Structure 1
């Protein structure tokens, strides 16, 4: 039985990875997070000694890095911690993966691009992050390329799963509001953690190394996505479509959000026949599962 270290196991993707591999007898998961808990090993990925010690002890076949600092606005003034978690952490995991011969799956983001695109970004497009979050995540990618020998960098966007996310925020607002205002001029692809976990588990079973985009198929904007959520959930709350400028006038944000976040899973399609579900189908399944 091969061992797999999962970092950030309490996050949305970490939980989805656990669910995906729960009944797979080929693998034993070694779950890690910042805080120790039942079945969870405490690991600070920013500490190279701690990472190396665990890797040498476990001797994993793969490391799946789901850990990240994702509070986008806070990072604009918390730059050092952002670089430690999003750049130094992946560097440490990359070094450890090389030393113990493990495959490394590192999860990245659409924020590595400038967000001003006019067509879906592919893996060969030039990066140009505008926020501290995007800059530190790109630095993490570069460290993985530099230090890991067998790696998969998987960029995703608009992720939702078991945990705090946009979908649950909108559903909670619908319980107390007759209407909500949501931006209509930011486009991307809502992606379920379940779909991303499936793709990651597919990839690390191969030797198809490199940089991949991993999002559900299709695209939408935040306001239309909210309307789809409410329609499926049977909510009567009205969605007011507003521009980013109108939203920011009432809700200032420290970090710029990309106006264009559509990623094309180009490398997956070039090198395999793997396909993500359409985002409409993925959100419908998520909401069904949410309601039991």
Structure 2
């Protein structure tokens, strides 16, 4: 199968490209230099020239706080860019996987969100990603929308790498303990996407590592695994704090936990528990020490 990956140089895109290639698919990785998704004509030209069976659309504007003062930029990439991909894919009959986010919900639910719960994004980022979902539904006939959360991987910057660095530099760390969600290792998500595109079970999916935790509990686990798997000396004393103590331009959802109803209903293999994903991340990091603090 021929698969085109947008955002191929990003944190998720790099692992998607690698996992699909390892599985024997012909993968065309397109970073921003190869494919500016905000340019309709270029999208049509690049996608028609490669003529893929599938497009995995990882490219996105993900700067949640910056989006609050850059509305045009967020919508241009996440909404208009997704329309361009959808229209271009439809012209050649390709199916599209769109990577979306837990930020499409308001985060106030007492229980985990299922795919068919009402959306109510509270940030520009969340609204622009939800609008991207709608663009895909409107203009593409074969689509998967995959919402994920709290993503971390070997490539690029993320919460896990930041905590590893701060844990070795700071005598004390305060981490929010009143926001909960499901951390997701990019390799586990990429493996799920690989399995998904082998089906025609189109539709909306929630895909994160199983289980949930707060950011504070996640950091505790990061430090435990770093000591055990990497032998790192973590100096920081960890303390829980509230969201109110760390105000941000974009409000953070109190509950980002997503139930994997569609995965169960479609009898697909679920992702591992987040602790398993974190442990595997540390094992993989050990093979690539140059990526520890990048």
Q: Same fold (TM over 0.5)?
A: yes
Normalised to the residue count of structure 2, the TM-score between the two structures is 0.93
Q: Does 1:28 align with 2:20?
A: no
Of 56, 61, 64 in structure 2, the residue corresponding to residue 69 of structure 1 is 61
Match of 1:261 in 2: 256
Cα distance in 2, alignment partners of residues 60 and 154 from structure 1: 19
Out of 80, 87, 95, the residue aligned to residue 87 of structure 2 is 95
Q: Is structure 2 residue 128 aligned with structure 1 residue 136?
A: yes
Any idea what SS the aligned residue of 1:73 has? helix
Match among 264, 268, 274 for residue 269 of structure 2: 274
**Displacement after TM superposition at 1:24 (Å):** 2.7
What residue is the counterpart of 1:216 in the other structure?
A: 209
Question: Any idea what the Cα deviations from partners look like across 1:225-279, whole Å, max 9, x if unmatched?
Answer: 001000111124221100001222xxxx211111110001110111114111000
> Given that residues 150 and 183 in structure 2 are in contact (C-alpha distance below 8 angstroms), is that contact kept between their aligned partners in structure 1?
yes
Please tell me whether residue 155 in structure 1 is matched to residue 165 in structure 2. no
- The match for 1:179 among 165, 172, 180 is 172
Counterpart CA distance in 2 for 1:232 and 1:197 is 22
2:117 corresponds to 1:125: yes
| Paired residue secondary structure (1:142) | helix
Q: Hey, what's the Cα distance between the residues in 2 that align with 1:272 and 1:289?
A: 29
In the aligned structure 2, how far is the partner of 1:123 from the partner of 1:51?
Answer: 29
Runs of 4+ in 1 over 6 A off after TM superposition: none
Q: 2:201 and 2:123 mapped to 1: Cα distance? A: 30
| Alignment root-mean-square deviation, CA | 0.9
**Structure 2 partner of 1:15:** 14
Return the alpha-carbon distance in structure 2 between the equivalents of residues 113 and 210 of structure 1: 18
Q: Give the match for residue 4 of structure 2.
A: 5
Q: Which residue of 2 aligns with 1:108?
A: 100
What residue in structure 2 maps to residue 38 of structure 1?
Answer: none
Work out whether residues 168 and 235 of structure 2, in 8 Å CA contact, stay in contact via their aligned partners in 1. no
Q: CA deviation at 1:96?
A: 1.1
1:27-66 equivalences in 2 (<5 Å): 27-35=25-33, 42-66=34-58
The CA distance in 1 between the partners of 2:165 and 2:158, in whole Å, is 11
Point out where structure 2 has 5 or more consecutive residues left out of the alignment: 228-233, 288-294
Confirm or deny: 8 A CA contact 2:169 2:236 kept in the other structure: no
Aligned to 1:239: 238
CA contact (8 A) 2:169 2:235 kept: no
